[in-house]
A and B are shown apart, each in its own frame.
Chain A
Amino acid sequence: MTSKIMPLAEAVGRFVKDGHTIAMEGFTHLIPFAAGHEVIRQARRELTLVRMTPDIIYDQLIGMGCAKSLVFSWGGNPGVGSIHRFRDAIENGWPRPLAIQEHSHADMAGRYQAGASGLPFSVLRGYVGSDLPKHNPNIRSITCPFTGERLAATPAINPDVTVIHAQKADREGNVLIIGIVGVQKEAVLAAKAAIVTVEEIVDRLEAPMNSCVLPHWVLAAVCEVPYGAHPSYAHGYYGRDNAFCKAWDPISRDRDTFLAWMKEHVLGTKDHAGFLKSAGITPIGRDAIHG
């Protein structure tokens, strides 16, 4: 059997193609920043980006012109405010117009579940009274065949590629996720191919019973990328870099400042270790947050 363990650049090169629907998940925890940067380095274009909570990494992908459309349920820089490249794309069409398909969290989670389950659609008791269905033709309704109740229905999400970050994998490529697991299992199982970056590859996972484990045979690639979730956090490894999240606001507010920053630190480096060094980032240890 061919090993699933490979460098991140190889995984992105092999599996992420122009025009693909790409989901990068991680609910404010374990956000796959290093993988997002690699997609930017490899200059993928015409992507449909899917993510419940587009934040800084999608701001960067959108601002660098990788995306033609965005499927999401909440877009912002948590605790800081707006994401300016996302807003500039929607409000002014820069660097290119961005088509949006907007949902609620409950619905996005359900759409991934339907995708993972091989079902065509998801059903939920949602959007009652909301204007969202008027602006998103994918939000429709269905009548329950048993009770007659009208419920919201939306199509399954089946990304070409889902990308997530996790704490660790073993040498076979089995992955363990600890802490806030978000929608990652569903997003991985819904995808045609899944790339997982991990903090470390270990001899034995030592996963507690019932923990969130993704077996190697549902994954396309597993890549060891320490600090690959920075500036988000990896529970048990390092804390959220709130100073970076705040610093992102002025960097991203101005188009030229943004482009210069991305050219220097992302396009100008060959991998994540190079990026961290170039941007002068020292991830914050666990004790700084939980000590």
Chain B
Amino acid sequence: MRSSPSHGKQPTSSPRTYFELMVKAGAARPRLGIIVNPLAGIGGPAALKGSDGAATVAEARARGARPEAPLRAERTLQALAARVGPAELLAAPGAMGADLARRVGFSVKATSRSAPSETSALDTRVAATAMRDADVGLLLFAGGDGTARDIHDAIGDQLPLLGIPAGVKMHSGVFAHSPEAAARAAEAALRNGPSLPLRGADIADVDEQAARDGRVASILYGSVRVPDLPRLVLPTKAGSPAQPGAELQALCREIADTLEPSCLYLFGPGSTTAMVLAALGARGTLLGVDAVLDGQVVGKDLTESQTLALLDTHLDSRLVVGLVGGQGMLFGRGNRQLTAAVLSRVGADRITVLSAADKLLALTPPTLWVDTGDPVLDKHLSGYIRVRVGPRQQIIMTVSS
């Protein structure tokens, strides 16, 4: 953590502590609130497409999944503390934020004294209501679409919102592209106070009926306000078009026709990779990871451990993935089964990315994002990547963490 100005290490013209920031912003109300859904994202590596509801959480735990949201929230809070010093936070109680924020060094006020041992959606709603009553300047939360919907259900658009990406599904346009980006956005909120520019963003979630029909689509649940920081906060996931373009169709067919023999192909989730599987005569798992060897599907809807087991027995492997439209997420959203362990095992140079050209060109900024949970791997994957957009056509894209 950085020295505070009282130690004379920082220029006094640049406020570094939360209290100085509050004075600068001229506000008496708490500037920042935090809610951590400790169970968010637990279903990802277990290929459960979400973590909503007690039954899903129990199933994820039975499959050996560990909670990841607290780790991701901690990354944000660590990065924020390094930037602004020991600030004061209003936090949900216990494992929902207060414990973590205290450990990182923040001065924490909890929304409630009693901390539930097993959290539920109700606890998120109660905490959000308390944040609303305290009129915090920005409500940070760690979770996914389910958590975002719970907060929206409780308080609508009454507080500016920012998500630390920690869910399995993140179709909503409220999430920073990484935990560290969330810290930078929170810092901007602290520094700017009420003058922080805000924009409207969607609260959305996967359309499960459409997924059963073989389409990836979102349902819109409402609208909130988020910090207007396009390089930090990702927009809503764009739906896949009703009819994929001819170039993308031709590309998927070409890939299906040119698979290398004896190579294990992993296909990530989404409608683009599903087209390759369709060209092979197979029906892929729209929201899951499938494996193909010599034209035959050898694994469907694989969990992280199932994928690693396949990679143990097949040394020659490749990964084919699409990306999340509108957001440009390559790894970390909607494909949490492709964990850092899986990606490291396949190797960065063995990853093929497919996308329609207009899906890439619609990205603002024109960047693909990786958020695998492993900062070292994220850095390794960063740089430039060739995205295949049609037969014999590629676009070079920046990849950033």
Do the two chains belong together in a single complex? no
Interface of A toward B, CB cutoff 8 Å = none
Query: CB within 8 Å of A: which residues of B?
Result: none
